Structure formats: C-alpha cells, structure tokens
Amino acid sequence: MIISIASGKGGTGKTTVAVNLALSLDKDLLFLDCDVEEPNANIFLRTRLYETEYVTMDIPRVDEGRCDYCGRCAEFCEYNALAVLSSKVMVFPELCHSCGGCKLVCPRDAISWEERVIGRVEHGVKDNISFYQGVLNIGESQATPIIRYLKNKMSNGRDVIIDSPPGTSCPVIESINESNYCILVTEPTPFGLHDLKLAVDLVRHLSIPFGVIINRYGIGDKRVDLYCQTERIPVLERIPHDEEIAKLYSNGKPFVEELGEWRVRFQRVYELIEASI
C-alpha cells in the first residue's frame, strides 16, 4: 500500500503526520521525503544517512566545429533553453527540461549530452523504516526530476509512506500519483479550508481515495469540520492544538515517542485507511 501525505497549504503538519504515522506502525516501511525543496522528515526521524546518489539532467552540449548555426534546435525548444546567434550557440541549462528534442532535430549531429547535477537522493535505515530523501540544490528550479528519481526506489511488497511538498502543481502530482490513498492535512482556519478545497480538487482529479487529518484542532473555527461533513470526506484524526505537542515539534521530536497513546491513534488511522481501500 502506498500512502501519501499532502496538503494545499504549507506548514499544516504533513511531515508531522508522515513521521508519526511511520513510527507508529510495526512493519517494514519505505519512507520517501518528496518535499525536495525543503526536506524536513529526517529532522524528526534522525536516520543516519550513509548513501548518496546524485540526480542529474541531460543538458545539450553543442560541438561548434560541426554546428552550422542553422537554428533548428532553438526553434524547436519549447523552453527557450537554446539561442543561436550568427556564430555562437548559447545554452541556458536551468531552462532545459531534457526532452532530447534539440539533438533529434539537429541535421549535423552537433549535439551531445552533458550531465548536470541538480540535487541528490540520500538514504538511511532506522529500525523498520528504509528512508530516502531528495534534496534540490540551491538555485535549481526543477524539483520534479528528483521526485521521479525518488519514486523509483519503490518496490512491491513493502508499504510506502510519501511526504509530499505543499501546493497543487507538478511536484505534488509527481509525488502523490499512483498512491493508493492520500491523507490531506489541514488546519481549522480560513486559509486551511481554502487550500484544503484545492487539494481535494486535485486528489479527486487524480482519482485517489483520500481522507483528512485536522491539525491544531481547536484554533480558528468549525468550517473545516462542516466542509468535510457536507462533502462526506472522512476525518481520520484530529490532532489538538496542544502546547506539549507544539513544543516537541519545535524541538524536532516526533510526539508519538513521548506521548504513547498517539501510537495507538495513528495505528487506528492506518486501519481506517486499510479498511477503506
């Protein structure tokens, strides 16, 4: 079973849910931190990362000895990653999507590939959790290739927990696609509700079964509860706005390790999910 944890709004508690859920389950798990722009799960899991793989993209290199500056590559490129001047070809690596089109259209076979590192995937093991996180390099814009690389770490037979980035666009889709279930984490505020609706639109569009966990329950108002009720969305758990939980969080400690009853509550969340799919 693949369970992803997502939210429209950032900072609602995705990582909190993902980490505490993983630590509550007594089974072999694969944990993927797909929030490669700001990976936080290992702050809480504290896995010793002993393996690093670099994620690269293929960027065109132009052999100016062969090139006759016909301009077809630049004309073809939908991302404006190439510009051909009268006696020079300029490549803008950060705009390139590595589609391979420029090489295909070049009539003089002047283009070859150069690998460009855009980030890395790190791995470690903690008890029953095999952990991977992606890290996007500073200044790089494309998170999706790293997420794609991370997702290749999935194999059959082991449950997978995916910590998704916030939002509703490309990196989120890449992270949660193919999940058997998606947990949407929100908070009971107008911002939380508004962004929850966006996330619900997304998971419905992708036809992924889903439920909601309301974090910091007690602040704001009751509109998130009402919305879930009206839309018949299961609320899997409500994590209260609690000083102790907030304090543990701020210090980077998973609260299931200190507050034992929450292990049982997260196991129940897992059972609810299992029963619903």
Partner 1 sequence: MKQLAIISGKGGTGKTSITAAFASLTKGRAVYADCDVDASDLHLILKPRVIKTMKFHGLKTAVMDKEKCIGCRRCYENCRFNAIDDELNIIEERCEGCGVCVYVCPSRAITLTDRDSGLLYISETRFGPMVHAKLSTAEESSGKLVSMVRENAKNLAEEKNKGLIIIDGPPGIGCPVISTITGVDLVLVVVEPTVSAIHDMSRVIDVSKHFSIPSVVCINKYSLNEEKTSEIIEYCRSNDIEVVGMLPYDTVVIESMVQEKTVIEYPNTVFSDKIRLMWRDVEDKLFNGVREVEG
The amino acid at 98: S
Of 8-16, 24-32, 84-92, 228-236, which part binds partner 1 (CB under 8 A)?
Answer: 8-16
Segment contacting partner 1 by CB under 8 A, of 98-106, 126-134, 228-236, 258-266: 98-106
Contacts of partner 1 in 118-177 (CB under 8 A): 136, 138-143, 165-171, 173, 177
Q: Closest CB to partner 1 among 190 and 234?
A: 190
Closest CA to 135 of 250, 41, 15: 41
65, 86, 251, 261: which one binds partner 1 (CB under 8 A): 251
Residue 38 lies near partner 1 (rule: CB under 8 A): yes
Task: Fill in the amino acid letter for 170.
Answer: C
Cβ proximity to partner 1, 108 vs 194, nearer residue: 194
**Candidates 155-163, 186-194, 226-234, 264-272; binding stretch for partner 1 (CB under 8 A):** 186-194
Q: How far apart are the first and last CA of the chain?
A: 9
Contacts of 6 (CB under 8 A, 6+ apart): 14, 164, 166, 172, 175, 176, 182, 183, 184, 185, 199, 202, 203
Strand partners, 33: 133, 163
Angle at which helix 261-276 crosses helix 14-24, to 10 degrees, equals 90
Nearer CB in complex with partner 1: 3/146:
146
Q: How far is the CB of 192 from partner 1 (least distance, A)?
A: 9
